[in-house]
A = this chain, B = another copy of it.
Amino acid sequence: MLDHTHVPAAASWVDGTRGHPDFPIQNLPLGVFRQGGGTPRVGVAIGDQVLDTRAAVELGLMDGLDPASRLALTAGALNDWMALPPAARTALRHAVFALLDADHPGRARHASLAGQLLRQQAQCELLLPADVGDYTDFYAGIHHATQVGRLFRPNSPLMPNYKHVPIAYHGRASSIRPSGSPVRRPTGQVRTAAGVDVPALRPSAQLDFELELAIWIGPGNALGAPVPLAAAADHAAGYGLLNDWSARDIQAWEYQPLGPFQGKNFASTVSPWVVTADALAPFRCAPMARGGDDPELLPYLRDEADAAAGGLSIALEAWLSTARMRELALGPCRLSASDARHLYWTPAQMVAQHTLGGCNLRPGDLLGSGTISAPDDSGHGSLLELTRGGTRPIELPSGETRLFLEAGDEIALTAHCRRDGFARIGFGESRARIID
């Protein structure tokens, strides 16, 4: 649903927000911040600042909202906000928009309270947006699945189930960290040589990133009560960026027969701002077109609204900065430019699939989309693809080369949405540096 919060001419009275590349008033993503060791508070990004929503509630500026929404804004995590019904999340967005809107009749009073309402983002610690009950990682990036599958099975890269069922695995919730937390290279069992079934204990020599979309779950469902596809979109409360770090050598030795485990569970890095489903409304698009040889979907994965606008058009990028590049004052280099359009399955299809057998989702659960690669070489969402399985080094502006990540390497994932007639909005970033 498009409404006045999407009008591109709208602007905030907060300085420097008009035309802000990520956080103009049309975005209003939520997050959790802390200042100087204080308690975590919910905030909304506006330009380079953070609106302290608890302060807004305490100043009586959110009195038009229902009590559950006001309570969610004074919590220390976004789980309560995610638990709100979609209409309440939309009403909350409108209330925040009104507070920050330069054209609002109360503008003068609102602006006079800026000192109590606003914090500089740069002076805040941005925390994990929610307490993640469960983290599930899908495998919906079909170009990634194809390119990785081709490394192992040149003639049949995609498994027979791929185009029938949104494949996923359960990931580790405890090791999810917000942008900025360093990632320690894991030690693990790896094969002593390719094709040799004898392991050695070593620090991973094949540490990789994965460019993924994060989907934050809203109200969720009771155990045993599947969410039908037509209702599934209401359960995706917001979106972020997820780097599902992977140790390819550990993964290759461990993954049969039960899938990835220690090749993944040492860390996942998520961006701190939750871009709401409402903010993304202008950027909905049709899901990836099925080809003539693609199988017909089972009815539970088909829904007219989802087939018309269940996809998302989000430009996604991955950037690398090495220690040497920083010494040379070279900026990060872009490794990948992809788009959420390259997902074979929509977020709603993921929710419908996840709950099909009765599995319950809870507010604050996190879904990863799977690595989103473009169909061409400019948009590989992992080094595994960029280096053809670790065989072709990539060259960096510093004269260095990389097959996989080294100590001091920093990966930043970024994303933004653009469409004619709408303000550009961005996701901020998921950034982390490798330490040994």
Q: B259, A177: Cβ atoms under 8 Å? A: no
A186 at the interface (CB under 8 A from B): yes
Contact A259 B258, CB 8 Å, known A134-B174, A187-B226, A199-B165: yes
Closest to A201 in B: B298
B254 touches A359 (CB 8 A): no
Q: Which of A228-283 contact B (CB under 8 A)?
A: 247, 250, 253-262, 265-267
Query: What 0/1 readout, one digit per residue, does chain A (338-370) give for beta carbons within 8 Å of chain B?
Result: 000000000000000110111111100100000
Please measure, in the bound complex, the distance between the C-alpha atom of A173 and the C-alpha atom of B295, giving whole angstroms: 33
Chain copies in the assembly? 2
CB distance from A130 to the nearest CB of B (A): 13
A188-213 Cβ-contact flags toward B at 8 Å (1 or 0)? 11000000011111001000000000
Q: Which of these, B177, B223, B226, B250, contacts A267 with CB under 8 Å?
A: B223
Cβ-closest chain B residue relative to A264 = B170
A257 to B151, CA, bound (A): 14
- Nearest CB of chain B from residue A131's CB, rounded to whole Å: 9
CA of A393 to CA of B105 in the docked complex: distance in angstroms? Answer: 76
Q: Once the chains bind, are A365 and B174 in contact (CB under 8 Å)? A: yes
Chain B residues near A136 (CB-CB < 8 A): 261
Q: Is the CB of B257 within 8 A of A159?
A: yes
Asked if B172 contacts A170 (CB within 8 A), the reply is yes
Q: Check A223–B265 contact: CB distance below 8 A.
A: no
Contact yes or no, B298 A186, CB < 8 A: no
Question: Do A266 and B359 have beta carbons less than 8 Å apart?
Answer: yes
A residues 373-400 touching B (CB-CB < 8 Å): none
> Is B358 within 8 A of A258, CB to CB?
no
* A422 interface hit (Cβ, 8 Å): no
- Residues from chain B with Cβ under 8 Å of A199 in the complex: 161, 164-165, 298
Instruction: Report if A43 contacts B (CB, 8 A).
Output: no
B265 touches A165 (CB 8 A): no
Supply 5 further A-B pairs (C-beta < 8 A) apart from A161-B189, A174-B361, A175-B223: A165-B254, A169-B169, A187-B226, A255-B259, A262-B353
23 pairs of residues in contact across A and B, judged by CB atoms under 8 Å: A134-B173, A134-B174, A161-B254, A167-B254, A167-B261, A169-B258, A169-B259, A170-B171, A170-B172, A170-B261, A174-B223, A175-B360, A177-B223, A186-B356, A187-B356, A200-B298, A247-B357, A255-B257, A255-B259, A258-B260, A262-B356, A262-B357, A266-B358
